[in-house]
Structure formats: structure tokens, C-alpha cells
Amino acid sequence: MKVLVTGAAGFLGRTVATYLKEQGHHVVGFDLKDPGIDGLTMQIGDLTDLDQVSAAVEGHDAVCHIGAIGDVYLAGEDPGLAAAVNVLGTANVAEAAVRHGARVVYASTWEVYGEPRYQPIDEDHPCAPDHPYNITKLAGESLLLSAARLRGLETVALRLGTAYGPGLRPNSVFRIFIDRARRGEPITIQGDGSQGRQFTHSRDIARAFDLALRSDVSGVALNTVATRTVTIRELAEKVVERFPTELTFGPPRPGDVPPATVSAARIADVLGWEAQIPFEDGLADLIDHELAGD
């Protein structure tokens, strides 16, 4: 299958592009810059430019649309940029895919649900995002699902758990904890550390994209999360086991999404997907990758 991966220069896009190549797909990346992945052809372009997006999509069977303002801090500081890339950019992907008959698998987020009304949260739970990041991600998802209903676009939105793995941004909680502990500096937990996340390894997420590409399911959003919840304190303690240092506590981080338990039952039924990489193994792999980069 000929697959275009938007956002291929970013952490998750690189992982998905690499995994899809391993599975035998012909993969082309699309981003503002070339990440330098061996054997990956890149098309340099901007999601906010419809002509560039359409030219990139032409000739492909499917698009894994991962390109976005995925940095929550940046989205909060510059909502206009988040709207331009995450909303207009996704509208352009939808239009280009309709023009050229391509299937779209979209990287949405579990954060679209907002404050949980019941748990575990399934896909029928109301969506009430309250931050420029999850607001714009839901808007992009809604545009794609609307194109499925109105224009026959084949699309699946994957509401991803909090992704982690080699290549994470330096301002991710994983990298912050690891980098500070390696320097022997205290790790500061925002709040009491009881807030939990269903951290989902990027390789598991890449496998979900592959399954969605090969499926004939369309017009649905699917929670794509590991079943296990790990608290921020647990994460910090596991990092300290590897690099002993002091744990300290600070005020809660403004705008943090509330903790919630998200159900992955539907994607197991629809695509046969479940997360396979144990958290301890994934964290050890990430730390080893950071050490190898020295």
C-alpha cells in the first residue's frame, strides 16, 4: 500500500513511518523538514497549504495524518497556530483525500473527552475539550468524520493514549524526569503525583495505524490506549530506580487534563488491537535510547 505519513519529522510520525516500512508499505513522509530517516522519501510542505497537501496525497492509497501542533504547551501559548495546523491542516488533508480517493487514519487523542462523566470512558462518552490542543484535535477529527458522512471519505480516527518511546520531545514528562535524574538533579512532580495516564508505546500505536490502514472500517473513532494506568509518581519512582535522585513536589500544572480511565474494548473488537509492550519494558527502552545518544 502507498501511504503518506504527515508529521513524519516528529516523534510519533517517525515511529509510524518506520514501522509501516517494516510491514512492507511504500511510505512517503510529509513535513516541514526532512528527519533523515534511512530509506524514507520525504515531501517537504505545509499542512496549511491545500495545493501542497493535495500534491503530496496524489498517488497514495492512504494517509496517516499525524502532523499537528502536538505540544500542549505550544498550543496553549499560541491557539491560532494550533487552529491553523490542527483544524485547517486537517481540513486540507480531508479535501485532498477526497479528491484523490485516499483513506485517512487520523491521530486524535483521548483528551477530547475532557472531564469524565463516567469511567471507563468509551467512545460514546460526550466530548468536552477545554484546551486549545484537545479542542483543535477534536475539530480535526470532526471534519474527517463529517467528510466520511457527506463525501464518502474512508477514515478512522484513533484517540491515542499518551504516547511515549524513543525520540520524545525534550519537554515531555519522560524526558524531563530522565534528563534531570541523569544529571543528579531533583525530580519535581507537579501536584501529588497521583494523576494517572494510560501511557501507550509508540510502536503499539504504529501497529494500530497499520491495522486501521488494512481494515475496511470507516467513519468511526476508536480509543487506542494501553489498559494499564501509571501514575506520574510511579513514573518518577521508576526513573529514580535507574538514576537515584531526590523526589520533590510542586504546585499542580495549570491546564492539566483530569485523570481518567479510558476503555480500549471497542478497538479490540473492531481492529483486534491491544497494547502489547509492558510499561517497564518501554521505559527501559526509552532510557537505553537516551543513554545511547550520548
Asked whether residue 178 is assigned to any structural domain, the reply reads no
Burial class (CB in 10 A: 0-12, 13-18, 19+), 257: buried
Asked whether residue 62 is assigned to any structural domain, the reply reads yes
What's the structural domain count of the chain? 1
Asked whether residue 151 is assigned to any structural domain, the reply reads yes
Asked whether residue 285 is assigned to any structural domain, the reply reads no
Between CA 138 and CA 224 the distance in angstroms is: 15
Between CA 145 and CA 153 the distance in angstroms is: 8
Q: Does residue 184 come out as left (phi exceeding 0), alpha (psi in the -120 to 50 range) or beta?
A: left
> Which tens digits make up the pLDDT trace of 165-212?
999 988 899 999 999 999 999 999 988 888 889 999 999 999 999 999
Between CA 145 and CA 221 the distance in angstroms is: 8
Asked whether residue 109 is assigned to any structural domain, the reply reads yes
CATH of the domain at 33: 3.40.50.720
Asked whether residue 252 is assigned to any structural domain, the reply reads no
- pTM of model > 0.85: yes
Asked whether residue 185 is assigned to any structural domain, the reply reads no
Q: Chain-wide mean pLDDT for the chain?
A: 95
| DSSP secondary structure letter of residue 193 | S
Question: What is the domain extent for residue 63?
Answer: 2-164+199-226+261-276
Asked whether residue 113 is assigned to any structural domain, the reply reads yes
- In this prediction, residue 255 carries a pLDDT of 60
Between CA 253 and CA 196 the distance in angstroms is: 14
Q: Other CB atoms closer than 10 Å to residue 149's CB: what's the count?
A: 9
Low-confidence stretches of the chain (pLDDT beneath 70): 254-257, 294
Q: Other CB atoms closer than 10 Å to residue 274's CB: what's the count?
A: 16
- In this prediction, residue 290 carries a pLDDT of 87
CA-based max dimension of the chain: 56
Residue 118 backbone phi and psi in degrees, to 5: -155, 160
